[in-house]
Amino acid sequence: MSRYFALVDCNNFYASCERVFNPKLEKKPVVVLSNNDGCVIARSNEAKAIGIPMGEPLFKVKALIRSKDVKVFSANFTLYGDMSRRVMEVLADHCADLEVYSIDEAFMELRFYHQSANSLVAWAEKLRATVYQWTGIPVSVGIGATKTLAKLANHVAKKRTRTGVYAIRTDDPLLHEITIGEVWGIGRRYEARLRQVGVNTVRELQCIEEGWMRQEFGVVGLRLLKEIKGEVCLLLEDPVTARKHTMVSRSFADDLYELAEIQRRLALYATRLGEKLRHYRQAAGVLTIYLWVNKHRNRRRDGRTCFARSVNLPIATNNTNHLISWSAVVAKALFEAGTNYKKAGIMASELVPENLSQGNLFQDHRAHERDNRVMKLVDELNQKMGQSTVYFAACGERPSIPLRQDYKSVNFTTNWQELLEIWG
């Protein structure tokens, strides 16, 4: 049995979602902005070509946007999430062994008997056409003997082919040209160290001794090297166990100076975090709070722009009440009067399955079970009646996360009042 992995990646996903329901955007430069219309987080190929950088604040590129008639959209995550679901459903119809890696990426394990790389390319081209026909989203497909090679093949499919599909071999001539910075898992530190010893291309990386790689980068580095050489070390992961951490963060429409308002915002984020954890049946062992200063109008004398502090929770939890309480405590410890805060975030890590959360001798088990029933009931009511139908008082009156979305498209696929109308 031949064994290959494929990585399917949606091209310029957020921009592509906007184009599906607005054909006039085809061949036009399109950018999508982050929360509160802060920075550029997605660009069409045309926007990349005119020099709009990724992550650039909107105010810095407004002149370029006007002069080049760039179409600007506020992030519409409701639309993007639904379009992602549709793409993943198409992929699941064509391959049972699927790992949804992110909102716009999925790994597939191709366990086809008597299949060659060439025949898989034909299969991938048909899959790509089907995804586009059924969803309107263009994708690229990379095929390789391992997940790491499939990821690298996807890079080639996007940058160096017209078909959007590429199957890479462990002895592929292109490996002499592709730089190590394109390899999945090689960050700046790995890249700098490898270049110090004369390793610049993927082919040169394949020739590194395994003993040296383990000594320099540990088991993770050794596993990466073996994957590049075609030895399978990374298998598809279950969506729950694959999540090592989860985070909710937002920029503020205006700078915040008061602790109470920051704690209220964090209570909202903790509520969303709790919902995410319960959805994936996980509990958090560590909670980290982040506060970011407005780096474009920093009023601090020391110039610091980011503050963070973590706390080890006594018992791993996904209870919103506990998450809110701890976020308020940590925020108070981080807060400094006179600082203009522009963004806050809350991250859960050391995640464990909720049914394996380790208790202790002093835990009131009946209270714990009661709290779990309350959270389940709150989730059911909010899913049935609408978000924030039931909420914690710490979130404020009828809470919502205020966002600036001056360029937002409508929810074409999830709101009856916003369905696309076609007139004959």
- Please indicate, yes or no, if residue 288 is contained in any of the structural domains: yes
Q: Same domain for 117 and 173? A: yes
Give the model's pLDDT for residue 176. 96
Give the model's pLDDT for residue 362. 62
Buried b (16+ CB within 10 A) or exposed e, 9-18: bbbbbbbbbb
Provide the domain count of the chain: 3
Q: Same domain for 371 and 272? A: yes
Give the model's pLDDT for residue 424. 67
Give the model's pLDDT for residue 194. 96
Q: Which CATH number is 63's domain given?
A: 3.40.1170.60
Q: Which CATH number is 155's domain given?
A: 3.30.70.270
- Please indicate, yes or no, if residue 419 is contained in any of the structural domains: no
The Cα–Cα gap between 310 and 247 comes to 13
- Please indicate, yes or no, if residue 396 is contained in any of the structural domains: no
**Segments forming the whole domain that contains residue 330:** 246-391
- Please indicate, yes or no, if residue 241 is contained in any of the structural domains: no
Give the model's pLDDT for residue 319. 95
The Cα–Cα gap between 407 and 409 comes to 7
Q: Same domain for 283 and 352? A: yes
- pTM of the entire predicted model: 0.75
Asked if residue 185 lies in contact with residue 220, where contact means CB atoms within 8 angstroms, the answer is: yes
β-partners of residue 356 are none
Q: Same domain for 45 and 143? A: no
Give the model's pLDDT for residue 399. 66
Secondary structure element (H or E) that encloses residue 328, with its range: helix 320-334
Q: Same domain for 106 and 70? A: no
Please identify, among 37, 59, 77, the residue that sits at the C-terminal boundary of a domain: 77
Give the model's pLDDT for residue 64. 95
Q: Same domain for 123 and 20? A: no
The 8 Å CB, 24+ separation contacts for 17-21 are 17/76, 17/79, 17/80, 17/83, 17/137, 18/71, 18/73, 18/76, 18/409, 19/44, 19/136, 20/83, 20/135, 20/136, 20/137, 20/412, 21/409, 21/412, 21/420
Residue 367 CB coordination number (10 Å): 9
Please list the rounded mean pLDDT of every run of 10 residues in the chain (424 residues): 87 96 94 91 95 94 95 94 95 92 93 73 95 97 96 96 95 96 94 96 96 95 96 82 80 91 95 92 94 89 92 93 96 94 95 74 74 90 83 82 79 82 74
- Please indicate, yes or no, if residue 139 is contained in any of the structural domains: yes
% of the chain surpassing 70 pLDDT: 94
Please identify, among 177, 201, 229, the residue that sits at the C-terminal boundary of a domain: 229
Give the model's pLDDT for residue 114. 53
Those residues whose C-beta lies under 8 Å from the C-beta of residue 412, and which sit 6 or more positions away, are: 20, 21, 79, 418, 419, 420
Q: Same domain for 291 and 381? A: yes
Q: Same domain for 83 and 200? A: yes
Q: Same domain for 149 and 263? A: no
Q: Same domain for 73 and 83? A: no
Q: Same domain for 317 and 186? A: no
Q: Which CATH number is 262's domain given?
A: 3.30.1490.100
The Cα–Cα gap between 336 and 256 comes to 12
Number of H helices, E strands in the chain: 13, 13
130 by DSSP, 3-state: which? Answer: helix
Which of 185, 204, 149, 395 has its CA nearest to residue 194?
204
- Please indicate, yes or no, if residue 402 is contained in any of the structural domains: no
- Please indicate, yes or no, if residue 118 is contained in any of the structural domains: yes
Give the model's pLDDT for residue 212. 96
- Please indicate, yes or no, if residue 421 is contained in any of the structural domains: no
Please identify, among 35, 62, 77, the residue that sits at the C-terminal boundary of a domain: 77
Q: Same domain for 60 and 115? A: no
Those residues whose C-beta lies under 8 Å from the C-beta of residue 300, and which sit 6 or more positions away, are: 293, 339
Q: What does the pLDDT look like over 294-348, one tens digit per residue?
A: 988 888 888 899 999 999 999 899 999 999 999 999 999 999 999 999 999 999 9
Question: Residue 56 carries which side chain, given as an amino acid letter?
Answer: E
